[in-house]
């Protein structure tokens, strides 16, 4: 099986495609179908979308004793138009309590206390005793800057990785390929992570894309490129020791076999740590750690089964046969062409 890693590269590409498609559906098509208007299927936190986030807990009421309509009416009467209410439940000391997450416009800077008091009075009068567990407010200017900075951070990281690998492998044949294949592999990981985030946003009303999500995404980039550099470096070393009759595909496959145990063993140690954080790290960190765990697995996979395989595709210029006569049924590596 290990001797066939490169020859079966189109199997790995198809698997990546199958993993990405469901995420793209929830990211692009699911919101369009369910809401009737185009919007990305990511629930952005107030860090990126602006507004205020309230968490209101009703310790004396069971989850079925408080409805979203009641909470909506209370916030509306306090002066907030069209609040977005998501009801959930919290277990405290073995008892389930009603809990509401409410998104409203950003609070007015000069009237923070008055608006909070208005909400507390309206909720207390119309629903009953409660506590405001969380209140965060971000203005539209700050949220717009955060969104732009997040986009710049991801694009800047990809560009820096491309330039660095181009320079680092300058003594190898076609150094630009190494940087470009690494970037394509990272884009694969970004699509996987964002796709899973879209699925989580659809299934879990408490999942939001926030600053911690961006941190997990950038960390995924570092995980992925770290493994990719290890594989590419071994490819470069084996190219220098190339034996007569040994093809580029054979060299890449041999390099993957050599680095595979190291990659898996290294990532398993991180996997154990992240799993412990999911189990015992608390609710605040759980979404962040889950996204990081998905990115870790995707980064390890893409380094072995995407980035290195793309080097072979580029070396043999296989795209010239994709829409023509195609590949052979055996999937064997074609003979390399000049240039």
Q: Write out pLDDT tens, residues 191-215.
A: 999 999 999 988 887 788 888 888 8
**Pair (147, 210) in one structural domain:** yes
pLDDT digits (tens, 9 = 90+) for 288-308: 899 999 999 999 999 999 999
Q: Is residue 43 part of a domain?
A: no
What global pTM score does this model have?
Answer: 0.79
Q: Is residue 331 part of a domain?
A: no
**Domain interval for residue 110:** 51-138
**Pair (171, 206) in one structural domain:** yes
Q: In sequence order, what DSSP letters do the residues of 317-336 get, joined into one string?
A: TGGGGTTTT---TT-PPPPP
**Pair (162, 56) in one structural domain:** no
Q: Is residue 89 part of a domain?
A: yes
5: tokens are 């890693």
Picking from 138, 168, 195, the residue at the C-terminal end of a domain is 138
**Pair (277, 158) in one structural domain:** yes
Q: Is residue 39 part of a domain?
A: no
**Pair (101, 221) in one structural domain:** no
**Pair (116, 194) in one structural domain:** no
Provide the pLDDT confidence category of residue 49 given band limits of 50, 70 and 90: confident
**Pair (56, 124) in one structural domain:** yes
For residue 30, is pLDDT > 80?
no
Q: Is residue 19 part of a domain?
A: yes
CATH number of the domain residue 88 falls in? 3.30.70.120
pLDDT digits (tens, 9 = 90+) for 242-277: 777 788 999 999 999 999 888 888 888 888 888 888
Q: Is residue 55 part of a domain?
A: yes
**Pair (146, 293) in one structural domain:** yes
Q: Is residue 180 part of a domain?
A: yes
Q: Is residue 10 part of a domain?
A: yes
Give the pLDDT confidence score for residue 116 in this predicted structure: 92
Q: Which residues contact 175 (CB under 8 A, 6 or more apart)?
A: 165, 166, 167, 168, 169
Picking from 138, 158, 185, the residue at the C-terminal end of a domain is 138
Region 7-11: mean pLDDT is: 92
**Pair (306, 237) in one structural domain:** yes
Region 79-98: mean pLDDT is: 86
Task: Give yes or no for a contact between 131 and 54, defined as CB atoms under 8 angstroms apart.
Answer: no
CATH number of the domain residue 312 falls in? 1.20.1640.10
pLDDT digits (tens, 9 = 90+) for 327-338: 444 444 444 443
CA distance 249 to 308: 10
């Amino acid at each position: 099986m290990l001797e066939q890693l490169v020859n079966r590269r189109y199997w790995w590409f198809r698997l990546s495609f199958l993993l990405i498609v469901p995420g793209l559906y929830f990211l692009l098509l699911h919101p369009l179908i369910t809401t009737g208007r185009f919007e990305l299927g990511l629930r952005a936190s107030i860090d990126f979308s602006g507004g205020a986030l309230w968490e209101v807990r009703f310790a004396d009421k069971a989850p079925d004793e408080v409805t979203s309509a009641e909470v909506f009416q209370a916030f509306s009467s306090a002066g907030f138009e069209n609040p977005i209410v998501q009801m959930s439940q919290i277990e405290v000391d073995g008892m389930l309590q009603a809990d509401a997450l409410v998104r409203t416009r950003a609070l007015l800077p000069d009237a923070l206390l008055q608006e909070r008091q208005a909400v507390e009075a309206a909720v207390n009068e119309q629903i009953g005793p409660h506590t405001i567990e969380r209140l965060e407010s971000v203005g539209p200017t700050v949220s717009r800057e955060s969104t732009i900075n997040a986009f710049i951070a991801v694009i800047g990281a990809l560009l820096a990785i491309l330039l660095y690998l181009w320079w680092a492998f300058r003594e190898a044949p076609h150094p630009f390929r190494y940087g470009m294949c690494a970037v394509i592999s990272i884009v694969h990981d970004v699509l996987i992570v964002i796709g899973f985030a879209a699925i989580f946003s659809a299934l879990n009303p408490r999942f939001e894309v926030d600053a911690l999500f961006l941190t997990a995404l950038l960390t995924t980039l570092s995980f992925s490129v770290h493994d990719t550099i290890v594989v590419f470096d071994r490819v470069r070393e084996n190219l220098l020791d190339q034996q007569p009759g040994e093809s580029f595909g054979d060299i890449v496959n041999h390099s993957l076999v050599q680095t595979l145990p190291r990659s898996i063993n290294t990532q398993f140690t991180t996997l154990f740590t992240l799993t412990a954080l999911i189990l015992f790290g608390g609710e605040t960190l759980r979404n962040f750690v889950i996204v990081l765990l998905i990115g870790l697995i995707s980064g390890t996979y893409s380094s072995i089964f995407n980035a290195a395989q793309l080097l072979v595709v580029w070396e043999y210029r296989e795209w010239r046969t994709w829409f023509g006569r195609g590949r052979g049924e055996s999937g064997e590596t074609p003979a390399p062409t000049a240039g």
